[in-house]
């Protein structure tokens, strides 16, 4: 019975999203590549709303909902939560927000996520912002930031790197073949990385440059 309700909800969500027709930029990069920091600057300078798939999932994991135990378990294992669960959370967040420009950070994590997002929402991203950073640099950053997150210990970090490389590269290759990937060298200092990011967003958002 639940699945019929879900299907109806999804159909409703899809038509509402299509009507809203938001402008979406996927933000991808390994754990510790600095996505969150750069997204905060993009929000400030270019007026986007930042939606972190990971934060939405962490909040849902603590919410006591029926999906919460499964999400918590998968996150502590470093594996990927089912597409429908994440897309439902993202869609809800997009519809609740009056803005029509969104950065979706940390999603799609794999090819199945990407296919499901486009088929469920009917939306393709404007482009994909890919923060390219070496594994050792990311590991160093994560271990020093220590935000007390349940998924920030060395074993889980390494699992997350492995999952990122094995899964997300197919997404990057797919969008690259469509000319939609903007690759940023994320190993540089924060300010330099943002200069590169600004060069990507300025022509899109401000024709005067």
Which residues does the annotation place in the binding site for a ribonucleoside 5'-phosphate? 58, 79-81, 106-109, 149, 160
Query: Alpha-carbon distance 140 to 130, whole Å?
Result: 19
Q: What share of the chain is helix, strand, coil (3-state, %, to 5)?
A: 60, 15, 25
Residue partners of 180: CB distance under 8 A and separation at least 6? 125, 126, 127, 128
- Residues belonging to the binding site for CMP are 113
- Residues belonging to the binding site for ATP are 32-37, 145, 188
- Residues belonging to the binding site are 32-37, 58, 79-81, 106-109, 113, 145, 149, 160, 188
Query: Alpha-carbon distance 56 to 203, whole Å?
Result: 30
Residue partners of 54: CB distance under 8 A and separation at least 6? 105, 106
């Amino acid at each position: 019975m639940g699945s019929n309700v879900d299907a109806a909800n999804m159909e409703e969500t899809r038509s509402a999203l299509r009507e809203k027709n938001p402008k979406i930029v996927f933000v991808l990069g390994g754990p510790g590549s600095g996505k969150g920091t750069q997204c905060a600057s993009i929000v400030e300078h270019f007026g986007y709303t930042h939606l972190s798939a990971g934060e939405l999932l962490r909040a849902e994991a603590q919410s006591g909902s029926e999906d919460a135990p499964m999400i918590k378990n998968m996150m502590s294992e470093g594996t990927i939560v089912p597409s429908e669960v994440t897309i439902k959370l993202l869609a809800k967040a997009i519809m609740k927000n009056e803005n029509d420009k969104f950065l979706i950070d940390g999603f799609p994590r794999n090819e199945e996520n990407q296919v499901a997002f486009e088929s469920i929402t009917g939306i393709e991203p404007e482009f994909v912002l890919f923060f390219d950073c070496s594994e050792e640099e990311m590991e160093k950053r994560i271990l020093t930031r220590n935000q007390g997150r349940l998924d920030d210990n060395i074993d889980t970090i390494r699992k997350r790197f492995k999952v990122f490389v094995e899964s997300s590269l197919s997404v990057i290759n797919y969008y690259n073949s469509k000319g939609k990937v903007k690759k940023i060298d994320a190993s540089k200092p924060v300010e330099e990385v943002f200069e590169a990011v600004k060069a990507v967003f300025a022509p899109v958002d401000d024709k005067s440059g």
